[in-house]
């Protein structure tokens, strides 16, 4: 089983749509969770951290379910500029500074 699994997509959605990405992780000792965004031929950049209680940043909402080892990202009112690959990231174990990246889910927002 891969450590961090994501649906590769692509997700093709119209502007204004709501889209959700899911991710599962295998290491139950993981304590830190993130979503990174990677534009085509660019470096990954932190989008948001994911907290146990769930957290929101503008149009973006992240949720964590530790029991199911499942993370989600919801994007509301999609913009053309949201087109990118979204990487699910977890740390590699309790106290570990190493991050394990999923392969990413590609989103294309269509006019």
Partner 1 sequence: DAGVIQSPRHEVTEMGQEVTLRCKPISGHNSLFWYRQTMMRGLELLIYFNNNVPIDDSGMPEDRFSAKMPNASFSTLKIQPSEPRDSAVYFCASSLLAGGIDTQYFGPGTRLTVL
Residues near partner 1 (CB under 8 A) are 32, 42-46, 87, 91, 97-104
Q: How far is the CB of 39 from partner 1 (least distance, A)?
A: 11
Which of 78/84 has CB closer to partner 1? 84
Per-residue CA distances from 37 to 9, 24, 68, 85, 93 (Å): 14, 17, 24, 6, 22
12: closest CA among 66, 89, 83? 83
Which of 33/78 has CB closer to partner 1? 33
Residue 82 DSSP SS3: helix
Which of 42/66 has CB closer to partner 1? 42
């Amino acid at each position: 089983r891969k450590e961090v699994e994501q649906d590769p997509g692509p997700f093709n959605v119209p502007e204004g749509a709501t889209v959700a990405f899911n991710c599962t992780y295998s290491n139950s000792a993981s304590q830190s969770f993130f979503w990174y965004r990677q534009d085509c031929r660019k470096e990954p950049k932190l989008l948001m951290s994911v907290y146990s209680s769930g957290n929101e940043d503008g149009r973006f909402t992240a949720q964590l379910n530790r029991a199911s080892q499942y993370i989600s990202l919801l994007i509301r009112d999609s913009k053309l500029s949201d087109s990118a690959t979204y990487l699910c990231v977890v740390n590699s174990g309790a106290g570990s500074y190493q991050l394990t990246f999923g392969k990413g889910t590609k989103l294309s927002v269509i006019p």
